[in-house]
Amino acid sequence: MLTHLDSQGHAHMVDVTDKANTAREAEAEAWVRMLPETLRLIQQGGHPKGDVFAVARIAGIMAAKKTHELIPLCHPLLLTGIKVELAAEGEDRVRITARCKLAGQTGVEMEALTAASVAALTLYDMCKAVDRGMLIEQIRLLEKQGGKSGHYRADA
């Protein structure tokens, strides 16, 4: 059953009033593929806009906190932890991971996915002048813990 649809099929925000506060955590990832020269520029600190990874990290953190403003029917959450990491993988890819945590009545999957996505978009925005062909790919939930549905881990 889709929880955001009522018995008539109308969209609604899920009522979590009676749900217990539990520790919840989710991790998501996104990948950005680019020209090797673009990645070298980022790694060597030669980008004219500054530290690309630092700006993308901050954008991801800010996005997680605003997920409820971006995704209809998401609850505003008091996140207690947000960690966004960017790392070069090989000569032409960046892996972005985002982990969100809270003690609350609903999960943080959308916050982690939003953080990873916006960090990837920020990376693209900062580097588009030198590489318009970058590819954002494989945005997915890696793991979630807590809540009624329990633990989930994506296949490798």
* Burial profile 58-82: b = 16 or more Cβ within 10 angstroms, e = fewer: ebbbebbbebbeeeeebeebebeeb
d(CA 124, CA 146) in angstroms, rounded, equals 33
Query: Known binder of ligand: residue 75?
Result: yes
Of the residues 18, 125, 131, 155, only one is catalytic, namely: 125
125 is catalytic: yes
Query: Known binder of ligand: residue 74?
Result: yes
DSSP designation for 2: -
Query: Known binder of ligand: residue 1?
Result: no
Q: Which of 106, 130, 150, 147 is nearest to 37 (CA)?
A: 130
Instruction: Measure Cα distances from 71 to 19, 65, 87 in Å.
Output: 21, 12, 27
Query: Known binder of ligand: residue 110?
Result: yes
Enumerate the active-site residues: 125
- Annotation: binding site: 73-75, 110-111
Binding-site residues from annotation for substrate: 73-75, 110-111
